[in-house]
Amino acid sequence: MKEVGIIAILLVTSIFLGVFAIMNNDDGTKASDVVNKEKEEVYNGGKTAEQDQATNELAAKVGLAIGKKGYSSSFGGIEPEILPNNIIELNFLVGEDLMNNENSKQEVQEIAKKVIERNNYDVDSYQINFIKMDIDNDGVK
């Protein structure tokens, strides 16, 4: 009986060490870090957050980007609406503070322009629409 206990302890210890070894790569990187980086790259359409800084700035400015038909524009990984006349259209749902601030709107347009240029969209021009977001006690209408 004593031998069974020792074998059980050795088995549990070896399993624990095996799992621990799997969770850490040779360079000391944890497996969870690798998984999180992969999730981040998938979320950002294959780009790391560092490469996607303009997108992050834009998302922070407007809070939410929506495409013409209610889909997320390119900033969520889905292509924006490209109209038949080769104009890219981006619609932004924004709060009243941004809606009434021309300087902020201009800044958002500049960042959006950089994002469009960075993604090399083959378009003649772009159109950015700001749609006022109505908020009540139940949230966004």
Mean pLDDT for 130-137 is 62
Q: What is the pLDDT of residues 1-50, one digit of tens each?
A: 566 566 656 555 656 544 444 444 455 555 555 555 555 554 555 555 55
Is residue 98 domain-shared with residue 62, that is, in the same domain?
Answer: yes
Beta strand 139-140 with 135-136: parallel, antiparallel or unpaired?
antiparallel
- Tracing tokens 């950089």 back to the chain, one arrives at 114
CA angle 68, 70, 72 (to 5 degrees): 90
Is residue 79 domain-shared with residue 26, that is, in the same domain?
Answer: no
Asked whether the beta carbons of 89 and 127 are under 8 A apart, the reply is yes
Is residue 56 domain-shared with residue 93, that is, in the same domain?
Answer: yes
Is residue 28 domain-shared with residue 54, that is, in the same domain?
Answer: no
Is residue 57 domain-shared with residue 15, that is, in the same domain?
Answer: no
- What is the rounded CA–CA span in Å between residue 108 and residue 113? 9
Amino acid at residue number 3: E
Is residue 75 domain-shared with residue 102, that is, in the same domain?
Answer: yes
More confident residue, 48 or 108: 108
Is residue 31 domain-shared with residue 52, that is, in the same domain?
Answer: no
Two structure tokens written together for 58: 């834009």
Is residue 89 domain-shared with residue 127, that is, in the same domain?
Answer: yes
CA angle 38, 23, 20 (to 5 degrees): 170
Q: Return the pLDDT at 40.
A: 56
Domain count, the chain: 2
Q: What is the DSSP letter of 13?
A: H
Is residue 78 domain-shared with residue 134, that is, in the same domain?
Answer: yes
Is residue 122 domain-shared with residue 93, that is, in the same domain?
Answer: yes
Domain of 82? Answer: 47-140
Is residue 86 domain-shared with residue 132, that is, in the same domain?
Answer: yes
Is residue 58 domain-shared with residue 31, that is, in the same domain?
Answer: no
Q: Show the beta-strand stretches assigned E in the chain.
A: 64-66, 81-82, 87-94, 125-132, 135-136, 139-140
- Tracing tokens 């000391």 back to the chain, one arrives at 28
- What is the rounded CA–CA span in Å between residue 67 and residue 65? 7
